[in-house]
Structure 1
Amino acid sequence: MSTSRGTPPSISQTLPGFLPGDLGWHLGMILRGHQLAVAQSVAPVPGQVRGYQLLSTVVHRDPANQQALGSHLGIDRTVLTYLIDDLVEAQLVERIAAPSDRRARKIIATARGEKLLAELEVKVNAAEQELLTGLSDTQSAQLAGLISTLSANIHNAQPGANPCEAMDLLG
């Protein structure tokens, strides 16, 4: 952040109620709490949180091909291939020829994958609600809106960013 003249902000221009670095600490704590709560909920999925995110993305966002899936999730294509292999072996997803380019592969959920995702979404929702205990419904809705806006802005500015790296660094 800089002022209109391009000079760095002073300590008096920091985020209200924050010292420099506080935002990162708070986000790290939230991420850690979410990671622990959700990891238990999605344990049946190969790759746990990454596998769950992949399955959810395939079902709810319908990416055009494997490359678009990896780009959306910010997962390296080598890691993505192994993760998809594990999900295929578990009969949760399958690879088909992409309708737009038969040389590319599209990942789709199997009936078993869709059923498991529906069951896990109930558990993930409960874990996330538990994480938000102490916030009113209005505060939860505000937080969800703000986080969505901020993450979309960051994703648009850094489309190749890997959100899984942040999770890995916590472990």
Structure 2
Amino acid sequence: MSSTSPEIATRGARGVEPQAASGAPVEADLGWALGVVFRRYAKTAAAALEGLPGGPRGYQVLATTRAEGPKRQLDLAAQLDVDRTVMTYLLDDLEKEGLVQRRPDPADRRARLIAPTDKGVETLCDLERRLRAREDALLGILDESERESFRAILQRLAMKANSIDPLHNACVLAEAEDPAST
């Protein structure tokens, strides 16, 4: 019986620590550490966004339209890598909750501009606070200066990685069964 898993031992009755195929403890493996932290972050972020239509995608719509101003529905769908039919349903749900509004584009009355409502901006601010609190809990082992350093270093790494291999929609990665394939 052969295994392609990098883990050659497991915790259990023997009390053996997981090890990579190289013999180094898994805890020393950057990929393992990033995966564990990302998995925990994804779960805690999903809990913070609970109740928001579309969850992470709804959050992206609110955050993008607040930061960048009103956007055409099709442009927003393309930017967030959301199928335009799915975007229509998502916007329907966000609009029903009073979080976004669709209005005619003055440059092309056939197109619709999507903008957050006042309630949408308030909701986004609340979601940002909830996410930050959950991030702080996740990073609770670090003191405040370490958290800020970690965030800054991680942001630099992410910006560099994204410049080499752009990912326009983090939801694609978060929802992928095999994140390495995106």
| TM-score in same-fold range (> 0.5) | yes
2:67 paired residue among 47, 60, 71: 60
**How far apart are the structure 1 equivalents of 2:60 and 2:119?**
16
RMSD: 3.0
Give the 5 Å matches for 1:18-167.
Answer: 22-62=29-69, 64-99=71-106, 101-159=108-166, 161-167=168-174
- 1:24 deviates by 3.0
Q: Is the 8 A contact 2:80 2:169 kept in 1?
A: yes
- Judge which range, 58-67 or 47-56, deviates more: 58-67
The CA deviation at 1:88 is 1.4
Residues 27 and 106 of structure 1: CA distance in aligned 2, closer, same or farther (over 3 Å): farther
TM-score for the superposition, normalised by structure 1: 0.72
CA distance in 1, matches of 2:151, 2:107: 34
**Which ranges in structure 2 are unaligned for 5 or more consecutive residues?**
1-23
Query: Which has the higher relative contact order, 1 or 2, with Cα contacts under 8 A spaced 6 or more apart?
Result: 1
1:82-104 CA-partner distances (Å, limit 9, x unpaired): 22222112221012233555443
Distance 1:82 1:158, change over 3 A: farther
SS of the residue 1:45 aligns to:
coil
Amino acid at match of 1:118: C
TM-score computed with the length of structure 2 as normaliser: 0.68
The alpha-carbon distance between structure 1 residues 169 and 149, as it changes in their structure 2 partners (threshold 3 A), is: same
How many residues align? The count is 154
C-alpha offsets along residues 34-91 of structure 1, whole Å, 9 cap, x if unaligned?
Answer: 1211212221211112212221222123264334433443434333332222211222
Tell me the distance in 1 between the aligned counterparts of 2:25 and 2:78.
Answer: 33
3-state SS of the aligned residue for 2:111? Answer: strand
Deviations 1:107-149 (A, max 9, x none): 1011221222222222111111101111122322222122222
Q: Is the 8 A contact 1:63 1:69 kept in 2?
A: no
Structure number with greater Rg is 2
